[in-house]
Amino acid sequence: MAVHSRQFEDTAPKVLVIDDSPDVHRLLKARLRYENLTLAAALSGAEGIAIARQLQPAIILLDLDMPMMDGFEALRELKENPATVDIPVIVLSGLHSPQDKVAAFDLGAVDYITKPFEIMELRVRVRAALRLQRLVRMLAQRAQIDGLTGLWNRAYFDVRWREEVAVCKRKRRPLSLALCDLDHFKSVNDSFGHPAGDAVLQGMAELLQAELRESDVACRFGGEEVAIIMPETVSDEAMKVCDRIRDGLATLAWARHPDRQVTMSVGIVGSDGSARIDADQWLAMVDAALYDSKRRGRNCCTVREAPGDKPKVRKAG
Torsion of CA 161, 173, 234, 266, to 10 degrees: 10
Contact criterion met (CB below 8 Å) for 262 and 245: no
Contact criterion met (CB below 8 Å) for 64 and 44: no
Cα distances (angstroms) measured from residue 12 to each of 33, 236, 263, 289: 12, 39, 43, 44
Closest to 13 in 3D by CA, of 156, 137, 173, 144? 137
**Span 117-151, pLDDT tens digits:** 888 888 899 999 998 888 888 877 778 899 899 99
**Per-domain residue ranges for the chain?**
14-142, 154-315
CATH C-level class of 14-142: alpha beta
Looking at residue 152, what is its pLDDT?
94
Bridge partners, residue 271, by sequence: 175
Closest to 132 in 3D by CA, of 33, 39, 58, 38? 58
Looking at residue 1, what is its pLDDT?
36
The CATH fold of domain 154-315: Alpha-Beta Plaits (3.30.70)
Average pLDDT for the chain? 90
Residue 72 pLDDT greater than 90, yes or no: yes
Q: For residues 106 and 44, give the distance between their C-alpha atoms in angstroms, rounded to a whole number.
A: 22
**Span 167-199, pLDDT tens digits:** 999 999 999 999 999 999 999 999 999 999 999
Q: For residues 27 and 175, give the distance between their C-alpha atoms in angstroms, rounded to a whole number.
A: 46
User: pLDDT-based confidence at 217, cuts 50/70/90?
Assistant: very high
Q: For residues 316 and 266, give the distance between their C-alpha atoms in angstroms, rounded to a whole number.
A: 10
Contact criterion met (CB below 8 Å) for 266 and 293: yes
275: Cα separation from own chain's centroid: 22
User: pLDDT-based confidence at 309, cuts 50/70/90?
Assistant: low
**Span 265-304, pLDDT tens digits:** 999 999 999 999 999 999 999 999 999 999 999 999 999 9
Residue 45 pLDDT greater than 60, yes or no: yes
